[in-house]
């Protein structure tokens, strides 16, 4: 399938910061093959007139938990530990694969309609999520969120559930859909596991060329408890066991230190900034300007819809560019351009994927945003409007891996009515009675 976009205004997210005006973007199969001012030769299966819209790379949600969409707004008003122990863990204990499937599809519908083309997701029933991702058409790095609550002396990878899951997921899904699905190694967090699992996961990641995904220093209590247990921060104690040797994702990083940032910069560990979730749970504000200054790659995530109440990454984009200016009393402490990089190029680097930019050779993950909408008119500066004024609902087209999967309110890979019926009639009664 070849598609030509005409009359394109595009934020390319290349290093020069180019805004393409009245140009052309050609897509063949899953790849962008031309970007420029001249109409390319040849015939095309489809020509899309992009007048009045702005094209940008599809958004990359680099830390989320799709099935938690079922728990949107459940247990609001609590801190992280109370919320997890009193609300989330009891509900999750009732989940089955069918409910996870329904919750994943609902989350995917919301993300696709608001411009996400790529996610890093961590959750149980990971194989079920992989199948839904494959059907929906976006790309995903998936991980099971390894936990081990047993006695460290008794650790046996042959009986540890998440070691078995990691092996099975890798065998069944790593590279599936021509790379649409990648499996990451993972540690849910320092506080939900111990050294034998860390060492095993690190070795597994090394042997299978996988990246790592972990929650790190989300709350002050988690961070302090780790210091008391090990005399080291979560980043540093995990580093002792080789967890970061293949790079990967450290979600949150609210209480990370300059020493942590040095490890992260050296080992290509991305901080995934989840400003909305961190604010809602009262966890704190990650020192993003300092992480950027230390050379750490910073990407953006919503976290689960249970602690965000929405999957609209435009909300996080806006917060990432606003929050630090306010906290530091410095306009542009994180610039709009830097925020946009977090949601695109930096996310691509975090996931190890050739996407996040509109240049020939990259994967065709592209979205169109309706700049005739009242909230995007007038437009003195495209980046200012995208970061501070746009909503996910301004997205009118989502192309993932060269396929248009959403256009003008219509999903081409999901049956929204069926998804909503399944959530209402099966998943919600199962979890909440
Ligand atoms: Zn999370």
Buried b (16+ CB within 10 A) or exposed e, 17-35: eeebeebbbbbbebebbbb
List all residues 6 or more positions away from 197 whose beta carbon is below 8 Å from its beta carbon.
146, 147, 148, 155, 160, 162, 163, 187
Ligand 1: centre distance to CA 218 (Å): 9
CA of 17 to the centre of ligand 1 (A): 31
pLDDT attached to residue 95:
97
Whether 88 and 71 have beta carbons less than 8 Å apart is answered as yes
For residue 108, the domain's CATH number is 3.20.20.140
Query: Do 82 and 52 fall within a single domain?
Result: no
237 in a structural domain: yes
Residue 419 lies in a domain: no
Does some domain include residue 416? no
Residue 188 Cα to ligand 1 middle (Å) = 8
Residue 391 lies in a domain: yes
Cα(431)–Cα(71) distance, rounded to whole angstroms? 9
The CA angle 334-349-211, to the nearest 5 degrees, is 125
Residue where a domain stops, chosen among 333, 351, 369: 351
Q: What is the pTM of this model?
A: 0.97
Coil, strand, or helix at residue 430?
helix
Six token digits for residue 82: 């109370």
Considering the domain architecture, whether residues 345 and 397 belong to the same structural domain is answered as no
Q: Has residue 243 been placed in a domain?
A: yes
For residue 88, how far is its CA from the centre of ligand 1 (angstroms)? 12
Smallest Cα–Cα separation from 219: which of 64, 80, 88, 86?
A: 80
DSSP H helical segments within 329-427, as ranges?
A: 336-343, 345-351, 382-384, 416-422
Domain span at residue 243? Answer: 59-351
Angstrom distance (rounded) from CA 58 to CA 368? 9
> Cα(368)–Cα(370) distance, rounded to whole angstroms?
7
Q: Ligand 1 centroid to 216 CA: how many Å?
A: 9
* Pairing label, strands 410-411, 403-407: antiparallel
Q: Are 186 and 222 in a shared domain?
A: yes
Same domain, 26 and 135: no
Residue 138 has a pLDDT of 98
* d(CA 11, ligand 1 centre) in Å: 29
Residue 240 has what pLDDT? 98
Cβ within 8 Å of residue 53, ≥6 positions away: 9, 368, 369, 370, 371, 372, 396, 397
Output the domain CATH number for residue 44. Answer: 2.30.40.10
Cα 122 to averaged position of ligand 1 atoms, centre (Å): 7
- φ/ψ of 365, rounded to 5, equals -105, 100
**Cα–Cα distance for residue pair 335/303, rounded to 1 Å:** 22
Q: Could you tell me the distance, in angstroms and rounded to a whole number, from the CA of residue 50 to the centre of ligand 1?
A: 36
Residues 71 and 89 placed together within one structural domain of the fold: yes
DSSP code, position 386: I
- 201 CA distance to ligand 1 centroid (A)? 19
Name the token pair of 324: 């630090």
pLDDT attached to residue 357: 98
Ligand 1 midpoint to CA 123 (Å): 9
**Residue 82 backbone phi and psi in degrees, to 5:** -65, -45
Are residue 271 and residue 289 in the same domain, yes or no?
yes
Q: Would 420 be classed as within a structural domain?
A: no
pLDDT of the chain, 433 residues: tens digit per residue: 999 999 999 999 999 999 999 999 999 999 999 999 999 999 999 999 999 999 999 999 999 999 999 999 998 888 888 988 999 999 999 999 999 999 999 999 999 999 999 999 999 999 999 999 999 999 999 999 999 999 999 999 999 999 999 999 999 999 999 999 999 999 999 999 999 999 999 999 999 999 999 999 999 999 999 999 999 999 999 999 999 999 999 999 999 999 999 999 999 999 999 999 999 999 999 999 999 999 999 999 999 998 899 999 999 999 999 999 999 999 999 999 999 999 999 999 999 999 999 999 999 999 999 999 999 999 999 999 999 999 999 999 999 999 999 999 999 999 999 999 999 999 999 999 8
Query: For residues 166 and 145, is the Cβ–Cβ distance under 8 A?
Result: no
- 74 and 100 fall within a common domain: yes
Question: Does a structural domain hold residue 147?
Answer: yes
241 and 369 co-located in one domain: no
Both structure tokens of 83: 């919320």
Q: Is residue 220 located within the same domain as residue 165? A: yes
Comparing C-alpha atoms, which of 120, 113, 105, 119 is closest to residue 69?
105
Question: Ligand 1 centroid to 155 CA: how many Å?
Answer: 25
Structure-block tokens of residue 4: 């030509």
Task: Please identify which residue in the block is written with the tokens 């003195």.
Answer: 380
Whether residue 254 is found in the same domain as residue 340:
yes
Q: How many domains does the chain have?
A: 2
Res 79: pLDDT? 85
Residues 150 and 242 in one domain: yes
Q: What is the pLDDT of residue 81?
A: 86
Q: Is residue 418 part of a domain?
A: no
Dist. CA 203 → ligand 1 center (Å):
23
**Cα of 266 from ligand 1 centre, angstroms:** 24
Same domain, 40 and 89: no
Domain-terminating residue out of 324, 351, 378: 351
């Amino acid at each position: 399938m070849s598609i030509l976009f005409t009359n394109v205004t595009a934020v390319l997210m290349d290093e020069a910061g180019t805004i393409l005006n009245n140009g052309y973007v050609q897509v063949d199969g899953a790849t962008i093959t031309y970007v420029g001012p001249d109409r390319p030769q040849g015939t095309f299966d489809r020509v899309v007139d992009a007048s009045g819209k702005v094209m940008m790379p599809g958004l990359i949600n680099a830390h989320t938990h799709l099935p938690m969409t079922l728990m949107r707004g459940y247990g609001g008003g609590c801190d992280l530990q109370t919320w997890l122990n009193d609300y989330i863990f009891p509900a999750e204990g009732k989940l089955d694969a069918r409910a996870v499937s329904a919750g994943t599809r609902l989350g995917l519908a919301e993300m696709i309609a608001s411009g996400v083309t790529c996610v890093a997701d961590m959750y149980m029933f990971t194989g079920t999520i992989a199948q839904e991702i494959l059907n929906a058409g976006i790309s995903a790095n998936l991980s099971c969120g390894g936990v081990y609550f047993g006695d460290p002396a008794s650790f046996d990878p042959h009986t540890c559930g998440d070691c078995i899951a990691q092996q099975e997921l890798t065998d069944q899904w790593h590279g599936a859909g021509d790379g649409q699905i990648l499996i990451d190694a993972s540690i849910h967090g320092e506080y939900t596991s111990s050294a034998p699992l860390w060492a095993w996961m690190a070795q597994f990641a090394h042997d299978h060329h996988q990246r790592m995904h972990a929650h790190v220093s989300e709350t002050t209590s988690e961070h302090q408890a780790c210091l008391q247990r090990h005399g080291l921060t979560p980043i540093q104690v995990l580093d002792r066991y080789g967890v970061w040797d293949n790079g990967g994702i450290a979600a949150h990083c609210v209480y990370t230190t300059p020493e942590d940032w040095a490890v992260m910069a050296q080992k290509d560990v991305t901080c995934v900034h989840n400003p909305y979730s961190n604010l809602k749970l009262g966890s704190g504000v990650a020192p993003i300007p300092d992480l950027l200054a230390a050379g750490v790659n910073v990407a953006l995530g919503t976290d689960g819809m249970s602690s965000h109440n929405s999957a609209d990454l435009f909300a996080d984009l806006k917060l990432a560019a606003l929050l630090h200016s306010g906290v530091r009393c410095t306009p542009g402490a994180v610039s709009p351009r830097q925020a946009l990089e977090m949601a695109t190029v930096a996310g691509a680097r975090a996931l190890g994927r050739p996407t996040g930019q509109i240049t020939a050779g990259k994967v065709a993950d592209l979205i169109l945003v309706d700049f005739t909408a009242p909230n995007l008119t007038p437009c003195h500066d495209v980046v200012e409007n995208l970061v501070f004024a746009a909503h996910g609902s301004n997205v009118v087209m989502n192309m993932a891996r060269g396929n248009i999967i959403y256009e003008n309110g219509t999903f081409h890979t999901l049956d929204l009515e069926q998804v909503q019926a399944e959530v209402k009639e099966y998943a919600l009664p199962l979890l909440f009675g």
